[in-house]
Chain A
Amino acid sequence: GAVVSQHPSRVICKSGTSVKIECRSLDFQATTMFWYRQFPKQSLMLMATSNEGSKATYEQGVEKDKFLINHASLTLSTLTVTSAHPEDSSFYICSAVRKSYGYTFGSGTRLTVV
Chain B
Amino acid sequence: KQEVTQIPAALSVPEGENLVLNCSFTDSAIYNLQWFRQDPGKGLTSLLLIQSSQREQTSGRLNASLDKSSGRSTLYIAASQPGDSATYLCAVSGDSGYALNFGKGTSLLVTP
Chain B residues numbered 70-104 whose CB sits less than 8 Å from any CB in chain A: 89, 91, 93, 96-97, 99-104
A42, CB-defined interface residue at 8 Å: yes
A97, CB-defined interface residue at 8 Å: yes
Instruction: Label chain B's interface by main secondary structure.
Output: strand
Q: What residue of chain B has the Cβ atom nearest to residue A104's Cβ? A: B46
Are B46 and A106 within 8 A (Cβ)?
A: no
User: When A49-B99, A97-B97 are in contact, do A105 and B104 touch as well, CB less than 8 Å?
Assistant: no
A residues contacting the other copy or chain, number (CB 8 A): 23
Most A Cβ at <10 Å: residue of B42, B44, B97, B100 = B44
Q: Interface 1/0s, chain A 101-112, versus B by CB < 8 A?
A: 111111110100
Q: Total A-B residue pairs with C-beta atoms closer than 8 Å?
A: 51
Are A43 and B99 within 8 A (Cβ)?
A: no
Are B42 and A42 within 8 A (Cβ)?
A: no
Q: Which chain B residues border A93 with CB–CB below 8 Å? A: 43-44
Q: Which residues of B contact A (CB under 8 A)?
A: 32, 34, 36, 41-44, 46, 49, 89, 91, 93, 96-97, 99-105
Q: Which residues of A contact B (CB under 8 A)?
A: 6, 32, 34, 42-46, 49, 91, 93, 95, 97, 99, 101-108, 110
